[in-house]
Amino acid sequence: MEGQAQSAPAGKKSGIAKLYSLEEYFDFEYKAEGKHEFLDGRIRAMAYTSPAHGEIQTNLMDALAGCLKAKSCKRYAADRMIYVPDCNKVFYPDLVIVCGEQVFRNHKGKMKATLNPSVVIEILSDSTEEEDRIDKWGCYRTVPSLQQYLMVQQNAQSIHSYRRKSEREWDYSYANKPEEAIAILDCLVQVKEVYAGVEI
């Protein structure tokens, strides 16, 4: 995720910001022009993303295309809504991979939030890196189906990966040299592929 955004809509009562139910959020999001995250009662508009962010996202989608198709996995770039029940939060990760049949949290037949992502990838920026590394990671790892969480930096060629070993154990690895490769599920992606054409 890129940049900072203010909460929306701005509802206040007695000087205290209004908290919204999940159902109210889905009703709001269905009619909204842009995309918004739901953070346990707060609604936050998603912010501008840089050209580098978009290029990294596209490179990842392209690099994974053939391998994931052979595995019957689908990939989504920032348009797949993820609901994490343990945190009561809804995110639009920069890239989501879902293998097998998808499980949804349905809202009035209008909107569907995925409950069972296999892989979540966030592209870091200076303003969101701490949130992606701490808050979102703490939330994502409560999802039973999640097998891997990756954070891809924009200001350096560096990719960080957490792979599930057991319910509460994760293996950490990273790659930061052009010829090095990182495994996303069982798909090997070289660092130079991810950052092709990106000005660091």
Per residue in 33-88, pLDDT (tens digit) is 999 999 999 999 998 889 999 999 999 999 999 999 888 899 999 889 999 999 99
**DSSP β-ladder status, 104-107 and 82-84:** unpaired
How far apart (Å, rounded) are the C-alpha atoms in residues 192 and 89? 33
Phi, psi of 82 (to 5 degrees): -115, 125
pLDDT of residue 2: 57
Domains of the chain: 51-194 (3.90.1570.10)
- Facing residues of 166 across strands? 169
**Dihedral (Cα; 118, 122, 128, 130), 10-degree rounding:** 60
Query: What average pLDDT does the structure give for the chain?
Result: 91
CB 150 within 8 A of CB 175: no
User: Which residue blocks in the chain are alpha helix, DSSP H?
Assistant: 22-31, 51-70, 129-130, 137-140, 191-194
How far apart (Å, rounded) are the C-alpha atoms in residues 40 and 91? 11
Q: Which two tokens stand for residue 158?
A: 């560096």
Q: How confident is the model at residue 4 (pLDDT cuts 50, 70, 90)?
A: very low
Share of the chain above pLDDT 70, in %: 92
Determine whether 174 is exposed, middle or buried from the number of CB atoms within 10 Å of its CB (0-12, 13-18, 19+).
middle
CA angle, residues 77, 32, 151, in degrees to nearest 5: 30
pLDDT(29) > 80: yes
How far apart (Å, rounded) are the C-alpha atoms in residues 184 and 88? 27
